[in-house]
Amino acid sequence: MAAQCVTKVELTVSCQNLLDKDIGSKSDPLCVLLMSSSNSQWYEVERTEKVQNCLDPKFAKKFVIDYYFEMVQKLKFGIYDIDNKTIDLSDDDFLGELDCTLGQVVSSKKLTRPLVLKNKSPAGKGTITISAEEIKDNRVANFEVEARKLDNKDFFGKSDPYLEFYKQTGTGWQLAHRTEVVKNNLNPTWRPFRIPLQSLCGGDMDKPIKVECYDYDSDGSHDLIGIFETTLTRLQEQCSNQYFKSYFNSLLKLDAVVKEYTFLDYIMGGCQINFTVAVDFTGSNGDPRSPQSLHYISPQGVNEYLSAIWSVGNVIQDYDSDKMFPAFGFGAQIPPTWQVSHEFPLNFNPSSPFCAGIEGVVEAYRVCLPQVKLYGPTNFSPIINHVACFAKQALQQTTASQYFVLLIITDGVITDMDDTRNAIVNASRLPMSIIIVGVGGADFSAMEFLDGDDGRLRSLSGEPAMRDIVQFVPFRQFKNAPREALAKSVLAEVPGQVVDFCNTMKLSPPNSTPAPNPAGTM
């Protein structure tokens, strides 16, 4: 079934009177959002930033989730005092939580409830407030901000300024964005940033916004340097050829207000997702005739390779109109010459490696398996470069007509790591994502290195990837999970990767006129 268009809801969180777990200072709270899956297991959706030394935090980071009227969507907001750099929250002080449903939040629009501890007793006088807003406007405001001759609030050294942008609501000002801190500088230039118009002014260019400048102090007692109010309309008018002078003598430049396309804008606008499968036929998989082999097809007709193909392919095939999928193998000796190949078509037809639907991919795999000799080594770069050639051709078009997703299913350690790193860095500049599913019980630490979640992947020469395009998961984590769980995990980042690439390259959906820009641009 094709993915439905759903309403997206943005949740803003703040707390008051939190428990103070720190000695000599105040708690450093963070909010984590959990949702309940279909089998009633809680899973983490996202986290806010940590707010230093504060018992009444207003979190700038928003939670954006899909809202389904016909479903009870259970939410759990957990508040933790963060005192270390580990991702694990079990070693941080728990400050309280709230269980509720998304329906309760949206029907209230602004829900305030007491926080409770794990035993359901009150978490002191702590409360949490969640505000909900439907996202209807996907325009963003691009800002460039610098300041000159700021007041010096520090006795030793200079001020460490940062900015906060506020949206006006019916009940007061709501934090929309917080910049980074520029250390020891009275003439700071902040990194360019963007704020969704929905978060900043509810999409109304004439609605007041407030900007506050503070001198950051590690104990949480930030000193106010100055405040001013304005509107985006006024900023644009005054920024056409000059900077905007604020109360605290900053030069604030509104670069542009632009409409950003969503993933569904691209999909519904005609962007095709081209899906390619690559299967590992190296000798470490074991003899396919042996039940111990990862390629052994059970009496029920399955193995981990087939399960991964079915799970991911069933979701992604809805986004490809002709449903003809190229499928390749690597690391085997193939007939008739028995030379090792690292990109051979599963149907042995180099001029047309396409399979009709996911059923065709599965059938080609079954037919191919007894005809090849498993060998080695495990080289990823040839197949990555193969798909990258087609992605590069697609980039010559002026719209976002095609995006390529390569699924690599493998049992072990990469032999050509350096070439693979170079291939991924090159592919990061193309309309392409790579999903790696690790089957069997091998050590997959090298795969996790390629998945740039811990930092930007670099080529051998030190060139950084333009964006993170690799998603790796070990199949063993999903062995006893529903079939859709694997696809949900590995495909979760693809929509963001598509949007990130197309917006960066300023590509519009094929079947649309350039995005209307009601606010105008600079």
> Residues in the chain with pLDDT < 70?
1-7, 38-39, 69-71, 136, 238-259, 264, 268, 452-455, 483-484, 512-522
287 Ramachandran zone, left/alpha/beta (phi>0; psi -120 to 50) = beta
**Among 431, 436, 503, 492, which residue's Cα sits nearest to residue 272?**
431
Do 473 and 438 contact (CB within 8 A), yes or no?
A: yes
Q: Between the CA of residue 154 and those of 125, 178, 486, what are the distances in Å? A: 34, 21, 52
Predicted pLDDT of residue 5: 38
Tell me how far apart the alpha carbons of residues 28 and 20 are, in angstroms, rounded to a whole number: 9
HSE-CB of 319 using CA atoms within 13 angstroms = 28
pLDDT at 103: 80
Helix 304-316, helix 483-491: angle, nearest 10 = 60
334 in Cβ contact with 372 (< 8 Å): yes
Q: pTM of the prediction?
A: 0.60
Q: Which 8-state DSSP code applies to residue 287?
A: -
The pLDDT, as a whole number, for residue 311 is 86
Contact criterion met (CB below 8 Å) for 112 and 129: yes
Contact (Cβ atoms closer than 8 angstroms) between residue 162 and residue 214? yes
Rounded alpha-carbon distances, angstroms, from residue 122 to 9, 22, 82, 97, 297: 28, 19, 20, 10, 55
Closest C-alpha among 215, 219, 234, 205 to residue 163: 215
44 phi/psi in degrees, rounded to 5: -75, 135
**What is the per-residue pLDDT for 243?**
40
**Which residues does 488 contact at the CB level (< 8 Å), separation at least 6?**
none
Phi, psi dihedral angles at 489 (to 5 degrees) = -70, -50
Beta bridge partners of 254: 143
pLDDT for res 29 = 96
pLDDT in tens, 331-361: 999 999 999 999 999 999 999 999 999 999 9
